[in-house]
Amino acid sequence: MKQGRIVLNQQARQVTPLADGKLLLDNGNPLADSPQWLAPVTGTVYGVALNHRSLLEQLEAEFQQPPYQKAPATPVLFIKPRNTHAGHGSTIALPTQAGKVFAGGALGVVIGKTASKLTEQQALDVVAGYTIVNEISLEESSFYRPAVKAKCRDGFCPMGPWLVDAAALDPLNVEIRSYLNGELAETNHSRDWLRSVPQLIAALSQFMTLQPGDLIIPATPLRQLEIRPGDTVAVEIAGIGRLENRLIAEESAQ
């Protein structure tokens, strides 16, 4: 089962896909026009940085030096606040004077039940389902301070279009493919992640209660996919769908 959220007459509505590719509204009527999509969830979005094994390997020597002194002992977490949340098809404004901007094709793990102090074995029981996320970020030259300026710009966390049921996907064996202007540009596979989805849910829930509608981004790829105004970026996960967004220059958005 797949569901999405759209705006219709200034109201948030639920949609499900029909076999012919059209959309069915929550009142049982088919939708004629192509909709304006919303992010499929409205809770807190937690991201996990440095969970890609080869990225951590690249930085291993640097992380023994100041200011880090030693490698991270627990998941490195960040929050994508509400101004970053956006839907499939949204146009995202990129700053042109702030250095490189990277796409971050990722899985979105959506929480379905209030979850506190779970074990790894219990963790998947609280997952409502999965979606696709593009965790957009400016280039990070340091991981010492919270990356608010790099990660919290308006529209820098498109999600969707679909939330699929938990049964539709194995979070221990998932591949995320990112496309730049239609060409496959980067892949992100769960086998490359240092901590798995159940391990992360367990770790986060030790000190924060997760709520229905919260979303966890378990891992972003290596930050090699630079995006620029004029580009179209898409992220695909088999079994979920395709999240596509167009990029424009911040100046032209104002």
Partner 1 sequence: MKHARIRLPGEADIHAVLVNDDHSVQLADGRRLAEDAVEWLPPAEGTVFALGLNYADHAAELAFKAPTEPLVFLKSPATLTGHRQVSVRPDNITYMHYECELVVIIGKTAKNVSRAEAMDYVAGYSVCNDYAVRDYLENYYRPNLRVKNRDTLTPIGPWWVDRDDVANPAALTLRTWVNGELRQQGNTRDMVFDIPFLIEYLSSFMTLSPGDMIATGTPEGLADVVPGDEVIVEVEGVGRLVNHIVSEAQFAARQAQTV
Give the separation between CA 179 and CA 223, rounded to whole angstroms. Answer: 13
Q: What stretches of the chain show up as alpha helix (H) in DSSP?
A: 53-59, 120-123, 148-151, 197-205, 250-253
Give the separation between CA 60 and CA 70, rounded to whole angstroms. Answer: 9
Give the separation between CA 212 and CA 193, rounded to whole angstroms. Answer: 24
Q: Please give the residues from 175 up to 194 whose contact with partner 1 meets the rule CB under 8 A.
A: none
For residue 182 the two structure tokens come to 């239609």
Q: Please give the residues from 111 up to 170 whose contact with partner 1 meets the rule CB under 8 A.
A: 116, 143-149, 152-154
Measured from the CB atom, the residue of 101 and 185 that comes closer to partner 1 is 101
Residue 223-252 contact track with partner 1, rule CB under 8 A, x = bound: ------------------------------
Q: Where are the beta strands (DSSP E) in 50-166?
A: 76-80, 85-86, 91-94, 101-102, 105-111, 127-134, 137-138, 157-158, 163-165
User: Does 68 engage in binding with partner 1 (CB under 8 A)?
Assistant: yes
Binds partner 1 by CB under 8 A, chosen from 8, 13, 42, 81: 81
Measured from the CB atom, the residue of 17 and 72 that comes closer to partner 1 is 72
Q: Are 135 and 197 in contact (CB under 8 A)?
A: no
Binds partner 1 by CB under 8 A, chosen from 39, 50, 169, 234: 50
User: Does 207 engage in binding with partner 1 (CB under 8 A)?
Assistant: yes
Which one of the spans 11-19, 72-80, 161-169, 187-195 is the region binding partner 1 (CB under 8 A)? 72-80
Measured from the CB atom, the residue of 83 and 119 that comes closer to partner 1 is 83
Measured from the CB atom, the residue of 31 and 147 that comes closer to partner 1 is 147
Q: Are 136 and 226 in contact (CB under 8 A)?
A: no
The CA distances from residue 71 to 41, 54, 74, 208, in Å, are 33, 14, 9, 23
User: Does 74 engage in binding with partner 1 (CB under 8 A)?
Assistant: yes
Residues that bind partner 1 (CB under 8 A): 44, 46, 49-50, 67-70, 72-74, 76-79, 81-84, 95, 98, 116, 143-149, 152-154, 207-211
